[in-house]
Structure 1
């Protein structure tokens, strides 16, 4: 499996994912409920992957 961003299926930018994280935190009033933690974790992982992909593209 290639480690290039295109082959890993990254679609959204880190900025887009960050906006979704901010919206989630705003809706939650800054304190996540148990049912929101899974979504938050997924978003943070997606954000980190997007940052890595963007860094990879910039370095290429």
Structure 2
């Protein structure tokens, strides 16, 4: 069992920059490994965006 505390979520803008950098770096169809990285980044981005939304009263 790991005793390392979880990292705090990264801001959506930072994750978005990572997504853009990945797509700029490839400039072609993504390989399977790149697609897996993209999918992880996209899920992280969606979580960051949802985390920044507050419920209306």
**In which range does the TM-score fall when normalised by the shorter chain?**
0.7 to 0.9
| Equivalent residue, structure 2, for 1:44 | 42
Across the two proteins, how many residue pairs are aligned to each other?
51
Alignment gaps of 5+ in structure 2: 1-6
TM-score, with normalisation over the residues of structure 1? 0.72
* Structure number with larger C-alpha Rg: 2
- Report the CA distance between 1:11 and its aligned residue: 2.0
Alignment gaps of 5+ in structure 1: 1-8
Alignment of 1:1-60 (within 5 A): 10-56=8-54
Q: Select the structure that is richer in helix.
A: 1
